[in-house]
Structure 1
């Protein structure tokens, strides 16, 4: 059974100032997600599922989905603020204006996923080697295995000069993830890198392994995700900015000894669409890869 690629594309893009998921960056107006889907298909994935907002559906279809769906088994599902909540929970969350984060997005897509799956963000470039690694891994595990996986990146390769980034700093032992500590504000300061955590500045070396939300799960992971989501709802529905985060839920599976996460690594240099200034950089990086023959000039004609 071929694995599925799950793309989390329902973000609000508040720092970017627009719908970055479908912004054109390729030579023929391809989006960053075109390249992710193209890489995944070349690396053995059999299907791609996008999680989007209802308000971007028309533009999403016109700028990305219809093109991808001609070349790849593809579908999309919606993440809404009230999804996975009962009437009492909806009332408790009356002040909420946006969806509930990445684990909520994954759970919104559960019915569309029937095979082991990888998860990616819509605004990050991961590199084909990472898809190859996880595609091979997922193709060879039991669909309900307690063993999962992820690809970690070197922090210094994932920084943006345009502003702070959010990264999960990983603790790894014997090739397996031990924990992920979510750092929501990592930035350059002088000649170094610092993380603002709990009101304090913590210096980082730039050599730390970090999560870029590139995970690979068997279907068994949904059991842990539901447990995390149920606990989150008990404590956080009244908090307008609280988010149920995939790296935290994944780390909880390990802490509870309900599964393991094999830690693969990549030295690929990240680029992505976090800030408006990033778009020009992404276009340059994609153009370089096309010039080097890594991608064809017209992407899907050569799939």
Structure 2
């Protein structure tokens, strides 16, 4: 499942369908390529209505015969009863709401990624192995990335900072904002405090592996979220919130998998040249073929 319905406000455009590879490939195409060679057989894209036809025109000709592809719309009224709909709301409801939108399109264990993050082939290999052999209704997973490897040189970022037990299972996750290097340290200056985050600390880059039973839990929490946030037009329903709730309720465990070796993304416009250069080097080294789909 690919989350591709975000607004891209800091980037200033539809980065989900922007070209970065030597042949104009989107970041998403590299994720799909890595997923295919890791054994995935289906991709479901969660998109806004405004980019649906563009996404279809871009991807269907390239992927036909290589992997099954489906498209699901996330709108402000998706899974929202009429009494909770608000014409003044502009902001999407968030990542967990996007997952819920695909409830009727997925009936098997699945991974969740962002369209605008490059995760690396190792991440798809470890999550693919987990989904094919380790997932259970009460056991899910996420790929962990070291905090120092997922920063931007051009501004602050928000990351889900993980707390784990000795079995590499998630105890909880806290969304930290305004994270950047400050001298020789990595600090978060959001939430009214300055907090140092040690190098090596695992964070979530929204690469999850779920048993399909999670849809029932997400829908239950969604029905609690709506009345509690009816008047808050900027409220969002996030996947880490779902994971934390499941852990706190004792309903499920979340394994933190070691596979996050390579990551880059485009939070800001200034990140684009860095991503273009990194992908060019990967093609030159043979990690990816000259053309992904030929």
Instruction: State whether residues 95 and 238 of structure 1, in contact with CA within 8 Å, keep that contact through their aligned partners in structure 2.
Output: no
Task: Name the residue aligned to 2:278.
Answer: 285
Gaps of at least 5 residues in structure 1 are: 1-5
Gaps of at least 5 residues in structure 2 are: none
CA deviation vs aligned residue, 1:218-275 (integer Å, no higher than 9, x gap): 0111122112212211211321211101111112111111111111123513211111
State the 1:66 CA deviation: 3.5
Task: Name the residue aligned to 1:49.
Answer: 44
Query: What is the correspondence of 1:248-287 to structure 2 with a 5 Å cutoff?
Result: 248-287=241-280
Task: Name the residue aligned to 1:117.
Answer: 110
1:38 pairs with 2:33 = yes
Task: Name the residue aligned to 1:210.
Answer: 203
Task: Name the residue aligned to 1:189.
Answer: 182
Instruction: State whether residues 182 and 248 of structure 1, in contact with CA within 8 Å, keep that contact through their aligned partners in structure 2.
Output: no
- What do you get for the CA RMSD once the two structures are aligned? 1.4
Instruction: State whether residues 143 and 259 of structure 2, in contact with CA within 8 Å, keep that contact through their aligned partners in structure 1.
Output: yes
Instruction: State whether residues 30 and 64 of structure 1, in contact with CA within 8 Å, keep that contact through their aligned partners in structure 2.
Output: no
Q: Select 1:163's aligned residue among 140, 155, 158.
A: 155
Q: Give the TM-score of the pair, scaled to structure 2.
A: 0.96
- The alignment partner of 1:110 has SS state of coil
CA deviation vs aligned residue, 1:156-186 (integer Å, no higher than 9, x gap): 0000011111110001111211111111321
Query: 1:140 & 1:133 partners in 2: Cα distance?
Result: 11
- The alignment partner of 1:111 has SS state of coil
- The alignment partner of 1:277 has SS state of helix
Q: Structure 1 stretch 69-78 or stretch 130-139: which is displaced more?
A: 69-78
Aligned residues: 293
Query: What is the correspondence of 1:1-303 to structure 2 with a 5 Å cutoff?
Result: 6-90=1-85, 93-141=86-134, 145-173=137-165, 174-301=167-294
Q: Give the TM-score of the pair, scaled to structure 1.
A: 0.93
State the 1:118 CA deviation: 0.4
Query: 1:94 & 1:201 partners in 2: Cα distance?
Result: 37
Q: Structure 1 stretch 108-117 or stretch 192-201: which is displaced more?
A: 192-201
State the 1:100 CA deviation: 0.2
